[in-house]
Chains A and B, each alone.
Chain A
Amino acid sequence: MKKRRISPGYTIVYLFLVLWALTTIFPLVWSVMNSFKNKKMIYQNSFSFPLGEAFSLENYRNIFANYNLFSAYRNSLIISGSVAFAVILLSGMAAYILCRYQFHGKKLLTMLLYAGMMFPIYSTIIPVMRMQAGWGIVNSPSVGANLLSVILPQIAGNMSFAIIVLTGYIRMLPTELEEAAYIGGCNLFQTYFKIVFPLCKPSLVTVGIFSFLWSYNDLFTQMFFLRTKENWAITILLNNIASKEGVNYGAMFASVTLIVIPVLIVYLFLNKSIIKGMTVGAVKG
């Protein structure tokens, strides 16, 4: 084989790209490395590998002894899972009607839909807090009620985005199957759930992933509604570890590692759908 000539231009391009890639990979590797060292070793050289005597599980023991990570993971999964499920179910139904039917008030609903994207959480949180406090689901003794007080506003927060994405998708689907179902005597429910819903699967997955991650990472809402230990979800737990373990660097490294690794594993398998899910709303078409 002939040796391919590599131009200096390409070398610089690759060098630059690899450099940026290193900035996204290295901090994480560095964090994993140091999570297995005690404070003294971190202090001496945070760039060394935790081998031999330097290796220690102390930080992890410490974190698991003082914080209930499993309960936080469970709460996070309940919250984000419910949000993704509700958004998929309800936004699809609304998107289908907005796509296929002509009715009075359609213009108004479409306008409201786009307006819904413009409201930042800051502008709604105080009245939402009052409303939910009035219903008794804020600071309630029941964990379920507290989780619900995070789930409900997050469902609403993802709804307009999801409907807009799904409307775009359903519009491209052919109507023949729906017509056949109609002639076969299906009502709206049967047509939607048996025909349209399964066809929308790729787009629904996108919407689901987006809502899940958005909810999982959203610290602001959790700060308002999950105020006691047993209600903490992952993000708020992390925030509390940060403020309590200020100088315990080892514990911080361990908790960052524990939070990021599950996400990393999921990302390695699903990165195509995740990237699509996170950017689809932005790209026109």
Chain B
Amino acid sequence: MEAQIYKNKKLIWIFLAPAFGFMLVYLYYPFVQNILNSFMHIKYMGTAGGEWNTPWYKNYVTLLSDPKMRTALVNTVIMIAATIFGQVGIALVLALMVSNIKKGAGFFRTVFFFPIVISATALGLLFNLVFLYDKGMINQFLQFAGILNRESNQLIDWKSKYAMFTMLTPVIWQYVGFYFVILLTGLAGIPEDLYESATIDGATKWQCVRYITLPLLRNSIGTCVILAVTGALKVFDLPWTMFVNGMSNTWLTGTYMYSKVYSDVDYASSIAVVIVVIGVILSNIVNRLFQTKDDYQV
């Protein structure tokens, strides 16, 4: 039954129009246009597509044999794996630890979350200095610690020798706190008496985690994994600040798309389409993985 008060619908469109108008003009229309663009020939950024490509799927054929695109895809897969296991994994360990301590939980929450509010651009700059070849934080520390020879000024070139590691570390590090907070909220929802009765029955701490916490936390972990996967596809600012133009073969789908945006507009559009398709497929897979297991639980 509809209440009397919500019967008069004359004005509701005035309330809906601005929000959905914005999304129509800036999301739905460009999204569709971008798919069309990927089949057209566009000469300059900022101009409309003229003719259809011949054959119309030309860009997608090129993508298949583009070595940089392959690098970008491989790196993006590495990035996704790193975010799932690195970010969500570390966050889970930290959350389990913090939920078990009595003092300082608030402090750790505040401190762990802090990197997220700093712009990834600033962090990219900061980590450039941390990984700097010429006596950056890590190289200098390794020299002081005696692991690298100080006399002969032995240094490690992180950004070219261990490029992927150097790029992934700050990305993972920045977002651990985010998943930590989500998982901590999930942990708070697990009733205390479950642990109590398990302990009375002689369960060890580890058994409690394995058979109570992790199964009950499945929804929160699922949310985190979806966010990590979609987040990994969006990463741009930090890799771009640290490794401009995919230097040392650090292309990601996002940074590669940007590098093509001015030189080959319609090709860049087709990369963007691929990013969307991967995102939709992966979040569906993750959704399904975490849902079917729920059914078994009963």
Number of interface residues of B (CB under 8 A): 105
Q: Is the CB of B30 within 8 A of A217?
A: no
Q: Is the CB of A17 within 8 A of B97?
A: yes
Q: A127-B29, A192-B15 are in contact. Are A253 and B46 (CB under 8 A)?
A: no
Of B45, B220, B268, most buried by chain A (CB within 10 Å of CB) is B45
Across the interface, which residues of A come within 8 angstroms of B111, CB to CB?
A: 21, 24-25
Give CA–CA (A239, B237) in the complex, Å: 9
A278 contacts B by Cβ under 8 Å = yes
B92 contacts A by Cβ under 8 Å = no
CB distance from A114 to the nearest CB of B (A): 11
Give CA–CA (A94, B15) in the complex, Å: 6
Identify which of A130, A175, A217 contacts B3 (C-beta below 8 A): A175
Number of A-B contacts (CB under 8 A): 269
Q: Is the CB of A122 within 8 A of B115?
A: no
Give CA–CA (A25, B94) in the complex, Å: 16
Across the interface, which residues of B come within 8 angstroms of A172, CB to CB?
A: none
Across the interface, which residues of A come within 8 angstroms of B120, CB to CB?
A: 217, 219
B195 contacts A by Cβ under 8 Å = no
Which parts of B17-57 form the interface with A (CB within 8 Å)? 18-20, 22-23, 25-31, 33-34, 37, 45-48
Residue of B nearest to A129 (CB): B46
Query: Chain A binding site: helix, strand, loop or mixed by DSSP?
Result: helix
Q: A27-B130, A128-B26 are in contact. Are A20 and B5 (CB under 8 A)?
A: no
Which parts of B262-281 form the interface with A (CB within 8 Å)? 265, 268-269, 271-273, 275-276, 279-280
B257 contacts A by Cβ under 8 Å = yes
Give A50-76 as 1s and 0s: 1 = Cβ < 8 Å from B's Cβ atoms: 000000000000000000000000000
**Can you add 7 more A-B contacts, CB < 8 Å, to A126-B261, A219-B241, A282-B227?**
A42-B135, A45-B140, A94-B18, A160-B27, A220-B237, A253-B129, A260-B122
What 6 pairs between A and B have smallest CB-CB spacing? A156-B26, A127-B30, A94-B19, A217-B119, A124-B30, A127-B33
14 contacts between A and B (CB under 8 A): A9-B205, A10-B101, A20-B94, A23-B173, A102-B2, A102-B6, A112-B28, A125-B261, A153-B26, A155-B22, A235-B119, A242-B125, A263-B117, A283-B220
Chain B interface residues (CB < 8 Å from chain A): 2-6, 8-9, 11-12, 15-16, 18-20, 22-23, 25-31, 33-34, 37, 45-48, 90, 93-94, 97-98, 100-101, 104, 107-122, 124-130, 132, 134-137, 140-141, 144, 173, 176-178, 181-182, 185-186, 205, 219-220, 223-224, 227, 233-234, 236-237, 240-241, 244, 254, 257-258, 261, 265, 268-269, 271-273, 275-276, 279-280, 283
